[in-house]
């Protein structure tokens, strides 16, 4: 009786891990396609900064620096809108 429970537990564990890998692969594929679409939009807009293309391949420090630059840009835009209603 004990061995049957162990076998059932092992099968359930195996199915759970297999499901995890299938879900992870599916998510990675979706994420990669989303990155390609965003890169296409950035590349097709002449006024867009191409520094964000392939941002997923940048280091954490590079991403932090880009985030700071965009935060500064947003603050500047907010100030312009506030000064010129």
Please write the tens of the pLDDT for every residue from 28-57.
Answer: 899 888 888 887 888 788 887 777 777 878
Q: Is 15 helix (H, G, I), strand (E, B) or coil?
A: helix
Whole-number Å distance between alpha carbons of 27 and 46: 31
pTM exceeds 0.85 for this model? no
Whole-number Å distance between alpha carbons of 48 and 60: 22
Whole-number Å distance between alpha carbons of 65 and 75: 15
CB-CB contact of 40 with 26 (8 Å): no
Structure tokens at 34: 């989303």
């Amino acid at each position: 009786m004990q061995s049957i429970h162990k076998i059932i537990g092992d099968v359930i564990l195996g199915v759970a891990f297999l499901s995890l890998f299938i879900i992870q692969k599916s998510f990675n594929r979706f994420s990669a396609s989303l990155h390609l679409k965003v890169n296409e939009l950035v590349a097709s807009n002449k006024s867009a900064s191409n520094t964000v293309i392939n941002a997923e391949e940048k280091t954490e420090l590079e991403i932090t620096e880009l985030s700071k630059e965009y935060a500064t840009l947003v603050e500047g835009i907010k100030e312009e809108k506030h000064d010129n209603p």
